[in-house]
Amino acid sequence: MSVMYSSITKKIWMSLMGLFLMIFLVVHLGINLLLLFDPTRELFNVVAHFMGTNPIIQIFQWVLFAGFAIHIVLGITLQIQNWIARPKGYKVKASSEDTFFSRYMIHTGIIIMIFLIIHFANFFFKAKIFHSIPEFILNGVPTGMEDMGILVVQLFQLPEYVIGYIVALLILGFHLDHAFQSAFQSLGLSHKKYTPFIKGLGHIYSIVITLGYIIIPLFIYFTK
């Protein structure tokens, strides 16, 4: 169905969903960072419990899934159309001064999608479908909440998982670096004064998000 809509309509949706997912990444990072500040995992588990049970968040969870689905389906549709638009490529690869990461959005995007599936299998499905997460016991007292925190701590003690996670997050960073300013351009928000600022902010955003997420497995791996 996404083929029917015009190229610009698709791009506007692509950017809106992308911006929405970028806000989600900030919220998610904020919650994850709680693990660094509270060795008892209480803070993290309380927030995770709230996110898993609050009715408004439960509705928003479906909006988020829709956001991912639209972004992924449109991204793949746009890319397939783009490949069709040039059936025969050049012998000499283009060396135009474009932004490096912009050439590999589909590749970084697909890796992020695979990471997302693994991520869901490791956390979301365990909590929501299999209910296989142990109860959080604080100072010997059962709390009635799931211990999401211990799941994270256990996974981040496996070196192969830590490395995989860091690689996936670096790739997410590359994706975001192009995505941030690109979303504004697609929405027509270009201005000679503000566009350089948005480009700079996009670099800062992608670096902060990437480093923020990467610190957590490193911290857990080397301290626990």
Partner 1 sequence: MDLKLKIWRQPGPDAEGKFVHYPVHNISKDASFLEMMDILNEELVANGEEPVAFDHDCREGICGMCSLYINGHPHGPDDSITTCQLHMRKFKDGETVVIEPWRAKPFPIIKDLMVDRTAFDEIIQAGGYVSINTGGVPDANAIPIKKENADLAMDAAACIGCGACVAACKNASAMLFVSAKVSQFALLPQGKVEAKRRVENMVAKMDDLGFGNCTNTYACEAECPKDISVANIARMNREFFVAKIS
Report the C-alpha gap between 83 and 78 in whole angstroms.
9
- Binder among 53, 54, 58, 81 for partner 1 (CB under 8 A): 81
Helix (H/G/I), strand (E/B), else coil: 146: strand
- Binder among 90, 131, 140, 141 for partner 1 (CB under 8 A): 90
- Binder among 1, 85, 129, 141 for partner 1 (CB under 8 A): 85
Stretch that binds partner 1, among 48-56, 78-86, 166-174, 205-213 (CB under 8 A): 78-86
Report the C-alpha gap between 131 and 134 in whole angstroms.
9
Q: Retrieve residue 135's tokens.
A: 């109860």
Tell me whether residue 48 or residue 179 sits nearer to partner 1 (CB atom). Answer: 179
Tell me whether residue 101 or residue 213 sits nearer to partner 1 (CB atom). Answer: 101
Question: Is residue 194 a contact point for partner 1 (CB under 8 A)?
Answer: no
Stretch that binds partner 1, among 29-37, 97-105, 166-174, 209-217 (CB under 8 A): 97-105
Stretch that binds partner 1, among 100-108, 129-137, 143-151, 207-215 (CB under 8 A): 100-108
- Binder among 1, 37, 55, 86 for partner 1 (CB under 8 A): 86
Min dist CB 94 to partner 1, Å, is: 6
Cα angle, residue 12 at apex, residues 204 and 118 outer, rounded to 5° = 60
Min dist CB 112 to partner 1, Å, is: 16
Min dist CB 87 to partner 1, Å, is: 6
Cβ–Cβ < 8 Å for 146, 133: yes
- Binder among 21, 78, 133, 151 for partner 1 (CB under 8 A): 78
Question: Is residue 223 a contact point for partner 1 (CB under 8 A)?
Answer: no
Report the C-alpha gap between 8 and 14 in whole angstroms.
9
Integer Rg of the chain from CA: 20
Report the C-alpha gap between 63 and 20 in whole angstroms.
10
Sequence-distant (≥ 6) Cβ neighbours of residue 102 within 8 angstroms: 178, 182
- Binder among 32, 45, 182, 206 for partner 1 (CB under 8 A): 182
Helix (H/G/I), strand (E/B), else coil: 143: strand
Sequence-distant (≥ 6) Cβ neighbours of residue 141 within 8 angstroms: none
